[in-house]
Structure 1
């Protein structure tokens, strides 16, 4: 079992210790695709999965979701969140056991989703229909100093509802002089570089677990594709995610490191619960 370098109250203490910092911004990796961003005393949480709901759901099936890393933080401890996202409807990005405690502890929280997923999201979370804030591709909203823009994701294809709203989405988030890109779950698709490159992001959070049909789940960028995409869009820093959670659907981050160095990109492989700071 992979242990976080800090978890629960120790992690919260680390977050609180930088609450009043005015320079730069900070990022913590919470496992899988979950990243916690702090800027100017405001906090945004990308796609958290902080439970064992999938391990329990699939325990007695032919597709067990055996966890290989500890949960980084009890979701009810996260009580200073202004914005949380769900990039699509898969449970490791839309988990009731994670989100409901977060909503309870953060009554003013704003919840960003793809507009196409509103009915599904509200049914799963038993929330009011007007609670989530829905986006479509290249649609933006300003919240608490963050400008959040939806961009397409292909998992494994770019899917839309009958109103042409995206079902799978990534997010560009601009704040202060910074921009970050959270991919959600995506494979490489035609136009991805042309969509992302103009944003000139400071950090690209990209999945590396790949797309292997034998896993019988929708796939993602491979470690090579993630490194190459970071280079082609001009990201100042590329940070891998979507690995080291489930035994059947992971990747060795050292493979990403080798490709990142081959492509000559700046990268950071975070440990669970680790903080990085961008000035």
Structure 2
């Protein structure tokens, strides 16, 4: 009961938050699950908030800040890949039922499972790296290949795992999804020079791979990627939900502080609203 009230209050905060030009509001739901809001567009990325007590598989370290039934007035859902902590059936089925007009963008390999979850064909869009996706006359999405732990493509050239660059409300945000650093990624992100980069830090190792846990960049690699890609602010992800696949975000923070003390960084609390403010927020817009 307490968790439900908390979730309802968080969603009410999302609905009521006004986001001036040059800013984005971001809510952290754990793992790589976030809500992004700007210019009256509310986007869910990898929403993973179903009740961990009712699931088969790994047990969450803590309950999600919201429940699937809390999610209303969503405009878009982005899925980075098919793993259960990124494309969560318990969340997606309710999300689509309650936000039927909101498209879901996902890699092509996810489409069959999304249909099985009850998502209508008309609501599913393919995460295609070939050209940007423009929605709502105010949002531009560029799909970035992700290597989790390898770059994998189907016979039509569609990537199995992706990240997303969002250009919204005068702010550019890069959500990497699950990925290691591969040749060309740093240069590609440096061309974008995101205002906000959201990067996994949990790494990977032989013993986790033996258990079927696919790895990501580690905290050192994520810190270096943020710096070398000229990301204005970096937010670490994917370190907190599963005890067997976790990392200490303090290591990430210490690494940046000791080597790149001018690199802006923010570690988000569970359920926190973080409002990113760019220099463009203070520039008067011409009519």
The TM-score, its normalising length taken from structure 2, stands at 0.88
What RMSD, in angstroms, separates the aligned Cα atoms of the two structures? 2.0
Structure 2 residue matching 1:180: 3-state secondary structure: strand
Task: Find the aligned partners of 2:207 and 2:51 in 1 and give their Cα distance.
Answer: 23
Task: Find the aligned partners of 1:179 and 1:75 in 2 and give their Cα distance.
Answer: 27
Task: Find the aligned partners of 1:205 and 1:55 in 2 and give their Cα distance.
Answer: 29
Query: Cα deviation per residue 1:100-126 (whole Å; 9 max; x = unaligned)?
Result: 111111121011111343234323x23
Map of 2:285 onto structure 1: none
Structure 2 residue matching 1:30: 3-state secondary structure: strand
Map of 1:61 onto structure 2: none
Q: Which residues of 2 match residues 1-279 of structure 1 at below 5 A?
A: 7-19=6-18, 21=20, 24-52=23-51, 56-58=55-57, 65-123=58-116, 125-144=117-136, 145-215=138-208, 216=211, 217-261=213-257, 262-264=259-261, 265-279=263-277
Task: Find the aligned partners of 2:123 and 2:170 in 1 and give their Cα distance.
Answer: 29
Map of 2:282 onto structure 1: none
Task: Find the aligned partners of 1:131 and 1:137 in 2 and give their Cα distance.
Answer: 19
Task: Find the aligned partners of 1:172 and 1:238 in 2 and give their Cα distance.
Answer: 14
Query: Cα deviation per residue 1:205-245 (whole Å; 9 max; x = unaligned)?
Result: 00011112212311011011111111011111000111110
Query: Cα deviation per residue 1:125-171 (whole Å; 9 max; x = unaligned)?
Result: 23333431002224211112211111110001000001111111000
Moved more, 143-152 or 232-241: 143-152
Task: Find the aligned partners of 1:190 and 1:29 in 2 and give their Cα distance.
Answer: 29
| 8 A contact 2:128–2:158 mirrored in 1 | yes
The TM-score, its normalising length taken from structure 1, stands at 0.90
Task: Find the aligned partners of 1:109 and 1:250 in 2 and give their Cα distance.
Answer: 32
Change (3 A) 1:104 1:55: closer
Change (3 A) 1:99 1:11: same
Is there any run of 5+ residues in structure 2 with no aligned partner, and where? 278-287
Structure 1 residue matching 2:197: 3-state secondary structure: strand
Structure 2 residue matching 1:166: 3-state secondary structure: coil
Change (3 A) 1:52 1:175: same
* Count, aligned residues: 269
Q: Give 1:53 deviation, angstroms.
A: 5.5
